[in-house]
């Protein structure tokens, strides 16, 4: 925030890096706290020699802090002295030894690791201690309810350790409850002065505490990350940044604490009277399923869900509040934004939950926010979301799916707008080709006409797959059409060609037949030609010879045939399929009369 010296979110102090901060809970009490003031300053604690501060005097082995107006800035009491020098050593089994779970301790023993009191244990008025911790680890301008939730967590963390001594002692044998750095909580009254809002947060929530299984627990907290309210909740930490989002959505302190320390947590001291904000009485609306990224005009994959909650953050599942009528509407969006829900935008909650399935939003755009309202309850906004444009229908047609080699494939592209509308004229569509359906190259970039149509013609040498790809525009989504396969048949020309006539030859004549195959390219496998020779026996044409011949580099496959018997004969040929091309058609019959 402007004018302060805060370290960016997620930074740990030197003490946290070198200390015993753990990522998981120690046995018996939950995880050790890792500090995390939101955008706040975590002091890099350096040890300094004991000295005097302005207004601090050394009095016979004790350091006395003046109180009254001079002490107000650090949240100290208005009369008396605070012991911050050598203090009596406690019995080994306890330190402060506080026992009450309903009333916070009056003081806390703090091991100082920096400043003039480095190495000593200070006995600090407990509420003053919490005030200073708030100044060090939270932000004065944080949302009020988030700041109050932080005050509860900061207080309870320290309170727990006044009841559960970990055996820590200073070099002079004085015991302490907590350390003044991020191994526990940053307590530095010399450099951190609590603001009016931080002091108010502590005062207003002094009567609130939390129990799990009937026992006070160490309420840990950390900065966390900027995610939706409660998205990173783990049941043992208040995550400060996302908790701020909860407060911004209208959550109250009990709801925030329930969100992060629940579900098995009891909030003590919150309003449970049955009045406004009490248990079972509707107090707020909460988006429990946020609208996710949506497509214009299409039902949202994740239906927005709104829950009616009471003052403790729990769903109102019984009574009249459980069937509250909830209305969903556009809260923010581009010009012309509209929400359409099957059955209308008003739903009656079931056990406190209103699910808005079958809802769609249009047109495409960013910055959409939905707002949920209900009679007598404050409105609540959803998280912002994006509506992607709906994709058009993109088809590719081929005039013929099988063509002879040397002829053109006639292709046409059709771009049809979705129900939500969009401009299909003048759009660029990529026509791509592939031999295997995996690797695609662009054959042409085509522009659609007023009807959304474009055409293309080419003479492929081999079998090919074609597809159309549209990159999308502001009002039309991207789409890739289904591929279309065009098969290219080989060409097989049999020679000699008798032109349909019957050629007469003498018995014993040898005729050399040559079939020219196309395509014939170095990168393609050579063609193979199947020859068949038939003779008329009685009234039946009988196969006399069959041979498969591989074409040479020029695409020619040659077969000599000797006609040794008088009668009627014919010869025909076909190019067989290859990996790149389909078979040819059979050649015309070449007929012979053998005398």
Instruction: Tell me, yes or no, whether 512 and 559 share the same domain.
Output: yes
Return the closest-CA partner of residue 370 out of 442, 290, 476.
Answer: 290
Instruction: Tell me, yes or no, whether 210 and 341 share the same domain.
Output: no
Domain membership flag for residue 20:
no
- Strand 305-309: give its sheet, edge to edge: 284-289, 305-309, 353-355
Domain membership flag for residue 96:
yes
pLDDT of residue 37: 41
pLDDT of residue 292: 81
Q: What is the DSSP letter of 315?
A: B
Domain end among 443, 459, 488: 488
pLDDT of residue 293: 72
Domain membership flag for residue 2:
no
Q: Looking at the 3D structure of the chain, how many domains does it have?
A: 4
pLDDT of residue 310: 86
Instruction: Tell me, yes or no, whether 365 and 497 share the same domain.
Output: no
Domain membership flag for residue 11:
no
Domain membership flag for residue 343:
yes
Instruction: Tell me, yes or no, whether 368 and 406 share the same domain.
Output: no
Instruction: Tell me, yes or no, whether 76 and 223 share the same domain.
Output: yes
pLDDT of residue 281: 86
Instruction: Tell me, yes or no, whether 432 and 501 share the same domain.
Output: no
Domain membership flag for residue 553:
yes
| CATH code for the domain of 422 | 2.60.40.10
Q: What is the DSSP letter of 8?
A: P
- List Cα–Cα distances, 372 to 11, 254, 302, in angstroms: 37, 21, 16
Rounded to 10 degrees, the C-alpha dihedral 112/117/123/125 comes to -90
Q: How many CB atoms lie within 10 A of CB 371?
A: 17
Instruction: Tell me, yes or no, whether 355 and 419 share the same domain.
Output: no
Residues of the chain with pLDDT under 50: 1-92, 272-276
Instruction: Tell me, yes or no, whether 240 and 148 share the same domain.
Output: yes
Instruction: Tell me, yes or no, whether 58 and 86 share the same domain.
Output: yes
pLDDT of residue 93: 64
Domain membership flag for residue 401:
yes
Range of the domain at 349: 284-388
Domain end among 332, 355, 388: 388
Could you read off the pLDDT of 531-556 as tens digits, one per residue?
A: 999 999 999 999 999 999 999 999 99
Domain membership flag for residue 12:
no
Distance, in Å, from the CA atom of 33 to the CA atom of 160, rounded to the nearest integer, reads 12
pLDDT of residue 205: 94
Report residue 272 CA to chain centroid gap: 37
**Any alpha helices (H) in 138-195, and if so which ranges?**
144-163
pLDDT of residue 547: 98
Distance, in Å, from the CA atom of 413 to the CA atom of 397, rounded to the nearest integer, reads 7
Instruction: Tell me, yes or no, whether 496 and 483 share the same domain.
Output: no
Instruction: Tell me, yes or no, whether 139 and 247 share the same domain.
Output: yes
Domain end among 468, 488, 508: 488
Instruction: Tell me, yes or no, whether 458 and 539 share the same domain.
Output: no
Distance, in Å, from the CA atom of 316 to the CA atom of 352, rounded to the nearest integer, reads 5
């Amino acid at each position: 925030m402007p004018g302060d010296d805060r370290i960016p979110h997620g930074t740990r102090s030197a003490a946290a890096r070198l200390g015993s901060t753990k990522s998981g809970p120690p046995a018996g009490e939950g995880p050790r706290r890792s500090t995390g003031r939101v955008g706040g300053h975590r002091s890099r604690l350096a040890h300094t020699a004991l000295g005097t501060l302005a207004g601090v005097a050394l009095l016979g082995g004790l350091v006395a802090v003046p109180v009254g107006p001079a002490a107000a800035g650090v949240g100290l009491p208005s009369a008396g002295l605070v012991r911050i020098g050598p203090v009596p050593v406690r019995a080994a089994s306890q330190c402060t030894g506080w026992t009450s779970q309903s009333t916070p301790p009056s003081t806390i023993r703090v091991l100082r690791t920096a400043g003039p009191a480095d190495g000593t244990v200070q006995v600090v008025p407990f509420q003053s201690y919490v005030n200073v911790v708030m100044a060090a680890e939270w932000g004065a301008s944080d949302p009020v309810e988030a700041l109050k939730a932080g005050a509860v967590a900061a207080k309870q963390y320290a309170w727990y350790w006044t009841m559960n001594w970990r055996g820590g002692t200073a070099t002079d044998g004085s015991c302490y409850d907590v350390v003044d750095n991020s191994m526990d909580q940053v307590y530095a009254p010399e450099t951190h002065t609590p603001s009016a809002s931080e002091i108010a947060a502590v005062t207003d929530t002094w009567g609130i505490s939390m129990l799990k299984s009937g026992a006070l627990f160490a309420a840990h907290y950390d900065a966390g990350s900027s995610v939706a309210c409660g998205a990173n909740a783990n049941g043992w930490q208040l995550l400060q940044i996302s908790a701020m989002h909860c407060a911004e959505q209208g959550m109250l302190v009990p709801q925030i604490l329930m969100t992060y320390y629940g579900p098995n947590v009891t909030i003590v001291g919150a309003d449970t009277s049955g009045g406004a904000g009490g248990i079972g009485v509707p107090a707020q609306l909460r988006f429990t399923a946020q609208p996710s990224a949506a497509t214009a005009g299409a039902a949202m994959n994740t239906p927005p869900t709104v829950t009616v909650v009471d003052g403790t953050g729990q769903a109102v599942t019984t009574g009249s509040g459980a069937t509250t009528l909830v209305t969903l509407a556009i809260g923010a969006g581009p010009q012309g934004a509209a929400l359409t829900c099957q059955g209308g935008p008003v739903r009656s909650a079931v056990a406190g939950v209103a699910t808005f399935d079958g809802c769609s939003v249009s047109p495409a755009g960013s910055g959409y926010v939905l707002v949920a309202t209900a009679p007598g309850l404050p409105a609540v906004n959803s998280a912002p979301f994006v509506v992607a444009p709906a994709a058009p229908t993109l088809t590719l047609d081929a005039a013929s799916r099988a063509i002879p080699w040397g002829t053109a494939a006639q292709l046409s592209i059709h771009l049809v707008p979705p129900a939500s509308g969009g401009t299909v004229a003048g759009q660029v569509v990529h026509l791509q080709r592939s031999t295997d359906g995996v690797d695609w190259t662009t054959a042409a970039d085509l522009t659609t006409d007023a009807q959304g149509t474009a055409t293309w013609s080419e003479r492929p040498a081999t079998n090919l797959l074609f597809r159309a790809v549209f990159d999308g525009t502001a009002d039309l989504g991207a789409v890739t059409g289904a591929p279309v396969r065009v098969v290219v048949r080989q060409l097989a020309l049999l020679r000699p060609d008798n032109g349909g006539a019957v050629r007469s030859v003498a018995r014993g004549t040898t005729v050399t037949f040559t079939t020219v195959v196309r395509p014939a390219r170095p990168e393609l496998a050579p063609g193979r030609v199947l020859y068949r020779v038939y003779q008329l026996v009685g009234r039946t044409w009988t196969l006399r010879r069959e041979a498969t011949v591989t074409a040479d580099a020029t695409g020619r496959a040659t077969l000599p045939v000797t006609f040794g018997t008088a009668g009627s004969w014919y010869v025909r040929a076909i190019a067989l399929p290859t990996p790149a091309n389909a078979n040819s058609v059979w050649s015309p019959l070449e007929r012979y009369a053998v005398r």
